[in-house]
Amino acid sequence: MKKMLSVLFLGTSLLAVQAQNVRIPVTQPHEQMATGRYQPTWESLRQHTTPEWFRDAKFGIWAHWGPQCVEGSGDWMAREMYIEGSKAYKYHVEHYGHPSEVGFKDILPLFKAERWNADELVQRYKRCGAKYFFVLGNHHDNFDLWDSQYQPWNSVNMGPKRDVLDEWAKAAKKAGLPLGISFHADHAWTWYEPAQRYDLNGKKAGVYYDGRLTKADGKGKWWEGYDPQQLYAQQHEMSERSWWNRAIHDQWDWTHGAALPSAEFVTNFYDRTLDAINRYQPDLLYFDVTVLPFYGISDAGMKIATHLYNKNPRGVVFGKILSEEQRQAITWDVERGAPNEIIPEPWQTCNCIGGWHYNTSIYERDGYKTAATVVKQLVDIVSKNGNLLLNIPLRADGTYDEKEARVLDGLEAWMTQNGESIFGTRPWTIFGEGPIAEKNIKMNAQGFNDGQYSGIDYRDIRFNQTKKYLYVTPMGWPADGRVVVKALAKGNAYLKKNISSVLLLGYGKLKAIQTADGLVVTLPKPVNDIVPVLRIAK
């Protein structure tokens, strides 16, 4: 036991080098960066502006779907199954086996997508108002969901034995929706580190998990001929404090003692990403990273962004935790939250009705966001110059459950009636008024503040506009039917005209009275189950 515990506290001073002082260049890549107007520098990339089509779109749906959905243990399942005592670990041991004998590699063949129909799903999302569609190219689990020529652990060689990206891309094109692809495998290097561990307790104490296996260990196994290290990437020293499960969050930007990746690993991610871009021609790229992949330690991410911009002038590249300068070059993504102000550059919130990967426990406890919650978040985000990218988690067979179907039904009904107040709009002079609009709501790292918007109701109002109309959206139906819009009081500084009537979308014209306290509108009985939208001619 002393020997095992020593591993927990082993100093790794060589890994303490500050990541921003280390350069790991893309080395002898197979895929060449497209040349053209842009170069991989911030000065050059700032010439690119977020295209108007994206600003008009406002709402996208994401199929954040892959083999981690098999066990229904939720997001980061392929990491947490190696964390002794975690919920995912306990479930995996009970239903599949101990991670020293049955690792994540052995879950891959169980991802079969047997009921998945890309065309039907994309058409369904389009009816809900989605103006672009996102898919998972790979997650932190390092499994490529296409016929990847640089990663043999892919969906054509095992699992569904289908080119998932190809089918999604064709469905998006058929539906006329811009395609987005998200790539997350750049963090597999540190994310999979628990696979190098072993149990500290019980019958298997001291027996290493399968993260250290090599190609030679596969003789006679189903994966014979495949190298587990091309999946797990764990032939390296662990990061400092790696046995503390939350250390990875401090190290997400490759600082605070993160084990730095090899040039081979960085170049492989670069090749895989360019391979997918060249094959499937996406309009949008999403990275779950600080700024860009390997930012601060490598030029790989900058080269990937440059490649997309040179190939596709209407392309959009997302990054998180961006400086003001960086937001002029790539598009800011906020995870599960929003700033409480209008942002000058177009931006996006990525959020989910449940977990990022399908989670059975969320289904069982009725933990999904309601359609009303999603709509209110969308309205709030749009009022601040943002878009919403919404994940609808799919089960491993490629279907959504009946509770998710009700969310989609609610979105479709509200969007059909009120979509004109969302699509093609721009922020007004102020984004809103009310108790939450006036709060000093801060973000946590890349976002994670949407809980502070819970409980929003009719007292909060959001605004957005087109050239012809101002849209006024109370965040709920008041019980007495009376709405008072303070920003449109008599003699207001924002809309200098007399207002005697407004249009309630889905109903018709209503009388309105401007007083010193605000524009007073009396609503009829609710015409939808979520929020009313008032339209005022400018």
DSSP per-residue codes, 390-451: EE-PPPTTS---HHHHHHHHHHHHHHHHHGGGTTT-B--SS-EESTTTTS-PPPBTTB--GG
Burial of 262 (0-12, 13-18, 19+ CB in 10 A): middle
Q: Give the per-residue pLDDT at 448.
A: 84
pLDDT for 16 beyond 60:
no
pLDDT in tens, 389-402: 999 999 999 999 99
Q: Give the per-residue pLDDT at 451.
A: 85
- One-letter identity of residue 42: W
pTM for the predicted model, two decimal places:
0.94
pLDDT in tens, 356-381: 999 999 999 999 999 999 999 999 99
pLDDT in tens, 297-347: 999 999 999 999 999 999 999 999 999 999 999 999 999 999 999 999 999
Of the candidate ranges 127-141, 150-164, 440-454, the one whose mean pLDDT is the lowest: 440-454
Which of 478, 496, 476 lies closest to 488 in space, CA to CA? 496
264: Cα within 13 Å, side-chain hemisphere: 7
Q: Are 130 and 59 within 8 A, CB to CB?
A: yes
pLDDT, average across residues 486-500: 95
Q: Does residue 106 or residue 3 have the better pLDDT?
A: 106
Q: Give the per-residue pLDDT at 20.
A: 44
Quickly state the pLDDT bin for 57 (edges 50, 70, 90).
very high
What secondary structure does DSSP assign to 32-95, as a single string? PPPPSS--SSHHHHTT----HHHHHH-EEEEE--SGGGSS-B-TTHHHHTTSTTSHHHHHHHHH
Instruction: In whole angstroms, give the CA distance from residue 227 to residue 47.
Output: 42
Instruction: In whole angstroms, give the CA distance from residue 184 to residue 138.
Output: 6
Q: Give the per-residue pLDDT at 3.
A: 31
pLDDT for 19 beyond 60:
no
Q: Give the per-residue pLDDT at 75.
A: 95
Q: Which helix (H) or strand (E) holds 289?
A: strand 284-290
pLDDT in tens, 226-263: 999 999 999 999 999 999 999 999 999 999 999 999 99
pLDDT in tens, 441-485: 898 888 888 888 888 999 999 999 999 999 999 999 999 999 999
Q: Give the per-residue pLDDT at 445.
A: 86
Q: Are 441 and 434 within 8 A, CB to CB?
A: no
Quickly state the pLDDT bin for 10 (edges 50, 70, 90).
very low
pLDDT for 8 beyond 70:
no
pLDDT for 146 beyond 90:
yes
Instruction: In whole angstroms, give the CA distance from residue 431 to residue 216.
Output: 60
Mean pLDDT, the chain, rounded, equals 94
Instruction: In whole angstroms, give the CA distance from residue 355 to residue 352.
Output: 6
pLDDT for 72 beyond 90:
yes
Q: Give the per-residue pLDDT at 446.
A: 86
What secondary structure does DSSP assign to 320-387, as a single string? ES--HHHHTTSEEEEES---SS--SS-EEEEEESS-SS-BHHHHHTT-SPPHHHHHHHHHHHHHTTEE
pLDDT for 14 beyond 70:
no
Quickly state the pLDDT bin for 181 (edges 50, 70, 90).
very high
Which of 507, 510, 186 lies closest to 499 in space, CA to CA? 510
